[in-house]
Structure 1
Amino acid sequence: MPNPEAHHPSRSRARPSTSAAARPPARARVSLRQLLRVASVASGIQFGWALQLSLLTPYVQQLGIPHQWASIIWLCGPVSGLFVQPLVGHMSDRCTSRYGRRRPFILVGAVAIVAAVLVIAYAADIGWLLGDTADYRPAAITVFIVGFWILDVANNVTQGPCRALLGDLTSKDPRRTRVANAYYSLFMAIGNILGYATGSYSGWYKIFTFALSPACTISCANLKSAFFLDIAFIAVTTYISIMAAHEVPLNSSEAAHAEAGAGESGSAEEAFMWELFGTFKYFTTPVWIILSVTALTWIGWFPFTLFDTDWMGREIYGGDPNQGLVYDTGVRMGALGLLLNSVVLALTSLFMERLCRKRGAGFVWGISNIMMTVCFLAMLVVTYVANNMGYIGKDLPPTGIVIAALIIFTILGFPLAITYSVPYALISTHIESLGLGQGLSMGVLNLAIVVPQIIVSLGSGPWDQLFGGGNSPAFAVAAVSALISGLIAVLAIPRSGAQKARSHV
């Protein structure tokens, strides 16, 4: 790829002008009510994510995929996110549609989510039509994986423009940016609560009786029915969000100027790659610290989000995905724990802006990550106690063990709320001064999220098997990573002058 600086010597020390020209015209301050409505689409997206996180890891094992390979299935999310979200951010920064820059991508992503959910819901039925049996379902696994990849691509197409749209509406106002991201986190919590509540209920097949089929038994029919509700919810919230966002369209001359500023390298793809990776050298030290803490934070979170309900079904209830109802009972109890987690997430979101303003976003983020460490270590302790009580394989777990597990899930709602909000607000504020578009800045932050997820997806299954199976080894790595990220955030992310002065009062 030609070096753009060879043709533009004056750019060698200048910050990139890629999106300064692409920035929409100045607009009146957006009301908090409008920001609330725009952010509501997060609840629709997160409703589906909650179903994925609580039900799909157990479901893929019920289809016949071994536990050590279940994490590989989740590779599609970070791999698609690695390329799709930055590319969509780049394209939306330059979109000249009369409907705005972000809304067309949000709508297309929502439609793709609906299509993918239908494919996943009917994977077992499609596999049955293609010759699967009750004990051997390669076609169903293939259809499921295809639908799962489409779903994760669609989620990435939708989420990046949603975050970028909030950044557009609150541009150059750090406090309002934090409020907008707190709203987004709040609606993610609402989506989680509804999604996990849906996943924890075992009687949906009685309402959607047509979901039952020779290929799709009760647990499968419950999953299918839950996805029907997901379709309705994503449709409603997407409509509310895109109707509330009154975007100022980017005219063609501004888009052309932006493309010229991206580097005359001969193709849009080269310009995109130059922008994405070429912007790294302009990052200040605080930006690199934010990206590093984000990466370590997600190395901590991903084992939990991948195996949370599986941990409850295996280590706490002692069940097997393919034998009896004990495992399913544990999975539903895990979904209940995630529901409680989301309640705390929602409550935290309401007070997050005030907390960050008083103590500093970096300090709050760091303390929340240290809290993650304590919770992950507590999961290891509970697992050890459960394994030495003698009930595994004989009876249901004692009430005290279940309550302890649920308390851990609940407490983790606080650091999760911080993770869903603070990094986005920090990166949006710091990158604004570099002249980058909000779409591209969200794509850059996304790299710090998906690369760790790829590492965990590839390594967690074999890592767990190396120590005899189970989920504890991955949680141990998560605890160490969360502790390191928390210490870096507390010590290295600078606080504003006002916050420093307040801390000395």
Structure 2
Amino acid sequence: MDQSRDENDTHKIQEADSSNNHDGCEDETQELKSNSKYDKRLVIKLAILSLASFPPEAFYTFYSLFAVPLQLKLGIPIGLTLIPMIIASVIGLFLTPIIGNLSDQCTSRIGRRRPFIIVLFIINLISAAMISYSRIIGDKLWPHHLLIGRILLIIGLIIDMICCCMLLSPARAFVMDAAPIDIQVIANSLITCSAGIGAVAITAISGINWRETPLAKVFGGQVEVVFILIAAICIIVMLIATVSYAEVPYVIVDSTEALTHKSSSRKNSDDLKISTMDSEDSNPVQLMVIQHDQTEVTNDSTEDKPQVITAEEISSWNHFYQTYYFAKTMPKELVILWMGVFLSCTAYIAFTSFLTDFLGQSVYHGNPLAAKNSTALYRYNHGVSIGSWGLLGCTAFSIVYSLALGQITKYVGAVPLLVIGYSVTGIGTLVIALTNQVIVILCMAALQGIGLASAYTLLFAILASYHDYFTKIKDSRWSFRELGLDISLLTVSLSLSCIITGCFLGAIVALVRSSRAAMIFSSICNGLCAVNCIFIFKVPNDA
């Protein structure tokens, strides 16, 4: 009987264990489902926040499409049509990092990045309106004279380009602040996707002939209708991006303390809480804005205390010197990233600026200066039209590729993917330069989207991982470096690329009298970018 009782007890214990295991499995399944739902909600949130990158790309596309034609219609010589872009790029080269630094230290109640996004967007709208209605306003103020129209157009073009460059930094930081470190690739993919959709949408709207529609009679003409539609779409998109969710809250810390490093992980904005500290007696200039969960204060008794600069010392500097200091002291890892973005942007701008002319003159043997209704002019215009489809395919492919990067990087590391990607784009532009086959050229043009998506997704995601890793290991080189400023430092490479393309590449193309030189130049830049990416520091997997 004792043996039978023992067997019954053993059976009951096994049943209990089985029941517990079953309950544990159910709990684990529910937890996984919960995490899955949370990830989906977070991705949706990041997708909505990334809409802030839609307007700057839309207005930049608007600039690219209409800047030269509008200047020519107002009698500005073709040799001077790149001057607004060069002036804007030079100004943006200095202002963009300052805007990034200011956004890092912003104490506005509506958020850290949001005030800059809203203000720059409004200025962008006004400048685009100046571009669109410059001739009409000039005729009203001084009939039968083009001077006022030219002045309004040039000012509008310069301001529009500057705002597009400056708006990119806070718009990107707006999303990256809210993304955990393990999904930064997805966050930056969504930013690239949003920007790409903005470019495609505006290109499509501009490609429609609005001249014979009632809208043209109401608003003034083709360019004016395109502007009104762009403005309406961008206002709705920006409202959705800036109103849907609260921005990451930050806390004010007294500058008399010494701040060494940030915490080891970037959390979701919902996990951050506002901590109020007594700072009424402190000078507002001596306050530093940092994330509540990203701050650690140490005292003099800490044995392994790294070399740091106090917040009081940094806050005593003006924003210009702060920006200069952080730009001058960029860590080696950040310099390599900057070179990657710079070479990639230079290659892409050289490719996009001369592809249509390359097809028009070198492939279809047309002449843009030929007589009206001539065969040579028709061939050139047909080549330009085909080239426009190539640029559209490039943008569309960049959207698809950026969305796939989140899955691809699970199997192939970011650095090998960058090396492979820029090698492919370099070979692609070289093939374009060496062939006259239109189908081959269009296919290689679409592949350039790999370089665009890589620069705007992977390189910025690596930047976020650097901020997380180096501050976690208490690397003094990264003390006080904030994401907004470092994003803007990478973004200014776009301005420098525009300056180089506008000043030097155009002269080289004119000297050799062929746009093939631009394609070869783009191929060289892509190749150098691939080599540069080999030296990108890889954050350890267990970090």
TM-score under structure 2 length normalisation: 0.73
3-state SS in 1 of match to 2:160: helix
3-state SS in 2 of match to 1:442: helix
> Is 1:453 aligned to 2:498, yes or no?
yes
- The equivalent of 2:447 in structure 1 is 411
* Counterpart amino acid of residue 464 in structure 2: S
* Counterpart amino acid of residue 41 in structure 1: A
Q: Among residues 486, 493, 497, which one is paired with 2:536 in the alignment?
A: 493
Spell out, residue by residue over 1:190-219, the C-alpha distance to the aligned partner (whole angstroms, 9 max, x if none). Answer: 112212212333345535222786xxxxxx
- What are the equivalent positions in structure 2 for 1:43-62 lying under 5 Å apart? 43-62=54-73
> Is 1:151 aligned to 2:163, yes or no?
no
Give the 3 Å change call, closer, same or farther, for CA 105–412 of structure 1 in structure 2. same
* Counterpart amino acid of residue 165 in structure 1: F
Q: Among residues 304, 312, 337, which one is paired with 2:390 in the alignment?
A: 337
- The equivalent of 2:25 in structure 1 is none
The answer to whether the Cα contact below 8 Å between 2:216 and 2:224 also exists between their aligned partners in 1 is no
**Structure number with bigger Rg:** 2
- The equivalent of 2:464 in structure 1 is 428
The answer to whether the Cα contact below 8 Å between 1:80 and 1:152 also exists between their aligned partners in 2 is no
- The equivalent of 2:423 in structure 1 is 370
- The equivalent of 2:340 in structure 1 is 293
Give the 3 Å change call, closer, same or farther, for CA 456–346 of structure 1 in structure 2. same
1:147 Cα deviation from its structure 2 partner? 0.4
> Is 1:320 aligned to 2:368, yes or no?
yes
* Counterpart amino acid of residue 86 in structure 1: P
1:182 Cα deviation from its structure 2 partner? 0.7
Q: What is the alpha-carbon distance in structure 1 between the residues aligned to residue 64 and residue 152 of structure 2?
A: 19
* Counterpart amino acid of residue 53 in structure 1: S
The answer to whether the Cα contact below 8 Å between 2:216 and 2:222 also exists between their aligned partners in 1 is no
Give the 3 Å change call, closer, same or farther, for CA 90–129 of structure 1 in structure 2. same
- The equivalent of 1:463 in structure 2 is 508
Q: Among residues 215, 219, 234, which one is paired with 1:208 in the alignment?
A: 215
3-state SS in 1 of match to 2:313: coil
Choose 43-52 or 315-324, whichever is displaced more: 315-324
Paired residues, number: 439
Give the 3 Å change call, closer, same or farther, for CA 47–323 of structure 1 in structure 2. farther
1:137 Cα deviation from its structure 2 partner? 4.9
Spell out, residue by residue over 1:323-376, the C-alpha distance to the aligned partner (whole angstroms, 9 max, x if none). Answer: 647465554443333222222112112211222232121222222222222232
In the TM superposition, structure 1's runs of 4+ consecutive aligned residues that sit over 6 Å from their partners are none
The answer to whether the Cα contact below 8 Å between 1:360 and 1:496 also exists between their aligned partners in 2 is no
3-state SS in 2 of match to 1:40: helix
> Is 1:224 aligned to 2:224, yes or no?
yes
Q: What is the alpha-carbon distance in structure 1 between the residues aligned to residue 229 and residue 497 of structure 2?
A: 31
- The equivalent of 1:302 in structure 2 is 349
Structure 1: tracts of 5 or more residues without a match: 1-27, 214-220, 386-399, 500-505
Q: What is the alpha-carbon distance in structure 1 between the residues aligned to residue 517 and residue 78 of structure 2?
A: 14
Percent identity over the alignment is: 21
- The equivalent of 1:80 in structure 2 is 91
Q: What is the alpha-carbon distance in structure 1 between the residues aligned to residue 465 and residue 371 of structure 2?
A: 51
- The equivalent of 1:238 in structure 2 is 238
Q: What is the alpha-carbon distance in structure 1 between the residues aligned to residue 248 and residue 389 of structure 2?
A: 42
The answer to whether the Cα contact below 8 Å between 1:182 and 1:349 also exists between their aligned partners in 2 is yes
1:157 Cα deviation from its structure 2 partner? 3.3
TM-score under structure 1 length normalisation: 0.78
Q: What is the alpha-carbon distance in structure 2 between the residues aligned to residue 360 and residue 425 of structure 1?
A: 12
Spell out, residue by residue over 1:455-481, the C-alpha distance to the aligned partner (whole angstroms, 9 max, x if none). Answer: 22221222222223x433233222111
